[in-house]
Amino acid sequence: MWANPDWRGSFYPLHGGGLEEYARVFNSVEGNTTFYSGAPRTETVAAWARQTPPNFHFCFKLPATLTHERRLAGIEAELDAFLEALAPLHHRLGPLMVQLPRDFGVEELPRLEALLSRWPAGIPCAVEVRHSEFFHKGAAEIALNRLLISRGVSSGISIR
């Protein structure tokens, strides 16, 4: 998060602070805003590109409307629009995060498989699962790992 007001006067200048200053120190950032707000506006993406050096990477989350509300079902058009909005940054995208709801279980893996089967080759992907059945060395964990390995996807875990 580059817009931390607590950093003004210490990490950032007292009357500054933002992505440009952040990018002087760090080479990547997780863009959580897309999880809550959806696809950014064209002007916003252009500003992010201008404010950061060419080697800076953005790691955005898919919008919650796709992952949590729609649970990856019938999201093709919205996913395409989201990726299109980020197109000016495609060469600077770190992994896009597919953060799944904590009750997204093994019975819904076919939805994740459908998403990953159409994932653009040039954009890295990471999947964060939270359902406890994926952490017990059983059939659910094996199925998830096979899916992720077969698609060359990174995984993250979160137990909350």
pLDDT tens, residue by residue, 27-66: 999 988 999 999 999 999 999 999 999 999 999 999 999 9
Check residue 107 and give its pLDDT.
97
pLDDT tens digits, one per residue of 3-35: 777 887 777 777 767 899 889 889 999 988 999
Q: Is residue 105 predicted with pLDDT exceeding 70? A: yes
Band the pLDDT of 152: cuts 50, 70, 90.
Answer: confident
Percent share of the chain, pLDDT over 90: 76
Domains of the chain listed by start with CATH number = 5-157 (3.20.20.410)
Q: Is 76 exposed, middle or buried (0-12, 13-18, 19+ CB in 10 A)?
A: exposed
118 phi, psi to nearest 5 deg: -110, 10
- Compute CA 89 distance to the chain's CA centroid, rounded to the nearest angstrom: 13
- Please state the pTM of the whole predicted model: 0.88
Check residue 3 and give its pLDDT.
78
